[in-house]
Each structure stands twice: as structure tokens, then as C-alpha cells.
Amino acid sequence: MIRSLIWLFGIQSAVACIVVKNDKILLTKRSKLLIEGGKWCLPGGGMKKWETALESVKREVFEEVGIKPKKIKLLFVHEEFVRKLKVHANVFVYEMKFSGNVKINWEVSSYGWFSRKEIDKLSVAFSHRDIINKYFNLKERR
């Protein structure tokens, strides 16, 4: 159903959040009930109508992993194409410092903190590997 709606209505807006702790990135393993289930991804998801990207990323991160932002900033917008899933989205990518402890919801089967080398070995959902690589490339230029 959702794939059909996305295909019918075209480009979607989504958010993804890079949460860093001790030079490692928080990734969540998607529930088997979801598209790309069993793969790792950044916390985030689709934006709701009349919701700003900032409101959306705060909501999605809190829903999925139960943490609240201390500091959050927009890094870049990533254009995501996943033809086999009929996904075309503009993903607003944020970096976040947080407070609280991770508490996963039904969308997440597990979570972990990963280095770049560890992420290279994981099965990653959508085009989140591209997002993560862009993040590290930006970080190297700073």
C-alpha cells in the first residue's frame, strides 16, 4: 500500500539523523515488518504533512530510540533513489547531540553504535550508506 502511494505521488520528504557518541554512529536494525526489514539504518523516516524537517527529525528520533536533542543541526539534503523499492525522496540529514538513554520501539529490532569500518560490513537499508559516507567526508574536511 505505502509503496503504491509513493509511486503515485512521486517524491517524498524524509529525515535521517546522525547521532554520534564516542566517535560512533547510532544505527537501528529495522523490524522485519517494515520495508528493508532486518537491515541497518539511521533513525528517521517520513515527514508528516505540515511538519517542518526539524520537527520531523525530533519526532522520528524520539519515537524510534527515545532520545531528545540537546543540540541539532542540518548537515545536508540527500536525494535518495531506490528504484527497486520505487522510492524517490529528499532526505534532510541532521546531526544530533542528545540526552537520555536509548529505548527502541516496535519499528526497531535492535540498535548499536558503529565505527565507519564496522558500518562498511553491515547490510544497510535504502541509501543510508551514501548518507553516512557523505557525513564522514564532510567531517574530514572540517
- pLDDT one-digit tens code per residue, 11-61: 689 999 999 999 999 999 999 999 999 999 999 999 999 999 999 999 999
Q: Can you give the pLDDT at residue 83?
A: 79
- Transcribe 84-129 into DSSP letters: GGTEEEEEEEEEEEEES-----TTEEEEEEE-HHHHHTS-B-TTHH
Residue 9 is predicted with a pLDDT of 57
Helix (H) or strand (E) holding 62: helix 53-65
Domains in the chain: ranges and CATH: 2-141 (3.90.79.10)
Cα distance between residue 46 and residue 39, in whole Å: 17
In the numeric block, which cell numbers belong to residue 136?
Answer: 564522514
Measured CA angle at 9 (ends 108, 91), to 5 deg:
45
pLDDT of 62-100, one tens digit each? 999 999 999 999 999 999 888 777 778 899 999 999 989
Residue pair 71/98 in contact (Cβ under 8 Å)? The answer is no
* pLDDT given at position 8: 52
Going by pLDDT thresholds of 50, 70 and 90, the confidence category of residue 10 is low
pLDDT grade, residue 122 (50/70/90)?
A: very high
Q: Examine the pLDDT at 6 and tell me if it is beyond 90.
A: no
